[in-house]
Amino acid sequence: MLEFSKTKRKIVAVLFVAAFFFLGVYIGFTNQFKIGKVTSLVAGATEIKERSVDFSDFWKVWDLIDEKYPGSEKISDQERLYGAISGLLNSLDDPYSVFFKPDEAKLFEEDIAGSFIGVGMEVGIKNKVLTVIAPLKNTPAEKAGIKAGDKILKIDQTIASDLTIDQAIKLIRGEKGTTVILTIAREGEKGPKEVPIVRDTIIVPTLDTELRPDNIFVIKLYSFTANSTGLFRNALREFSQARTDKLLLDLRGNPGGYLSAAVNIASWFLPGGKVVVTEDYGTNKKPTVYRSKGYDVFKNNLKLVILIDGGSASASEIVAGAMQDHKRAILVGSQSFGKGSVQEVVNITTDTLLKITVAKWLTPNGNSITEKGLTPDYQVESAKQAGTDLQLNKAIELLNNWPGLR
């Protein structure tokens, strides 16, 4: 009887082992089927690597949606996949790493082209709040009174704190002639206020020049576009013909643009080989160093002041940071925005894109633009008071009574 009991226990044990084996095969097959199903949704993507990650929690949630969520059948597998990818990127806690669905990818490509329907302002995330980096010149946003540093609380009736940058941009954009209402908070003002803005075709401006009566030549650079290098070269030709050594480069409200344009513009003031900016990839790979092309036409025979403020970002910070670190210019104004990360755009499928942060920009002295922004040599926090541009006045004072570079 004892022997029979032992034998029975052995048979039961074997059956349990077999049952778990077949259960594992079934679960593995089921999940493999699901993985295959999801993989088919991103057909055309690059080859997917094997990962030693347990996705059982993911599939459990997927199945619970089918089982419990009212109207789950109205949400396509494709939309669920897009949501999962966006959630994966959210785990990075980086507002500049974004997945673009087909309609969003189309809008993004239109933005790059330099002409689009919108209100004409650059936005970013600062201290986890959607913030205006700068309104562009002669655009609906500027005409409506939007200013650099304005915090956007609502877009029409949508709470902005729940949105990514690109989701916010999509809501702000729209049909030409229609109105979007932004609820903003501005430092120094009581409570939020609503600002209605009529959408229009936006053409990104580049630069203006002016020779002042006091012989100061002013270059106002609005953005670093594909054609800004040629326009800046022409502006410097005007400066040379003006026969003055006093140059004011106004980068206030300039949200940036092409890295190549920033390097090219900095090269007019630096000897060949000097570091303009470094792309730091962390531990992923060796940093990339961008150096001056060495145009350096002015040598040391130049008094140069650069104006910056909270609307100066990205490529503006690269140029200003390089000039400051190499002691080629005096910086005047207020702290820059601090947008010093590098994004790469990758085609996931033929109609979807991934914009992902791949590096951080460092000034020639190794300072992180993202973490600190730039601190001017002469800080003048308020741009205008009683109709007077205090930052501009300080720059003019320095150029007319040159203290030398420190």
3-state secondary structure of 109: helix
Out of 325, 336, 341, 394, which one is annotated catalytic?
A: 325
Residue 77 and residue 350: Cα distance in Å, rounded? 18
User: Is-contact 322 266, C-beta < 8 A?
Assistant: yes
Conformation bin of residue 327: beta by default, left when phi > 0, alpha when psi is -120 to 50:
left
Residue 107 and residue 113: Cα distance in Å, rounded? 10
Out of 147, 339, 360, 394, which one is annotated catalytic?
A: 339
> Cα–Cα–Cα angle for 380, 259, 140, nearest 5°?
60
Active-site residue, 10 included: no
The residues near 198 (Cβ < 8 Å, ≥ 6 apart) are: 140, 177, 178, 179
Name the phi and psi angles at 198, rounded to 5.
Answer: -90, 125
**Pairing between strand 303-308 and 246-250?**
parallel
Active-site residue, 296 included: no
Question: What is the per-residue DSSP string for 272-340?
Answer: TT-EEEEEE-TTSS--EEEE-----TTTT--EEEEEE-TT--THHHHHHHHHHHTTS-EEEES------
Residue 331 and residue 224: Cα distance in Å, rounded? 19
Residue 183 and residue 178: Cα distance in Å, rounded? 17
Residue 97 and residue 354: Cα distance in Å, rounded? 8
Active-site residue, 76 included: no
User: Is-contact 37 342, C-beta < 8 A?
Assistant: no
Out of 223, 314, 334, 336, which one is annotated catalytic?
A: 314
> Cα–Cα–Cα angle for 312, 222, 339, nearest 5°?
25
**Pairing between strand 200-203 and 115-118?**
antiparallel
Q: Which residues are catalytic?
A: 314, 325, 339
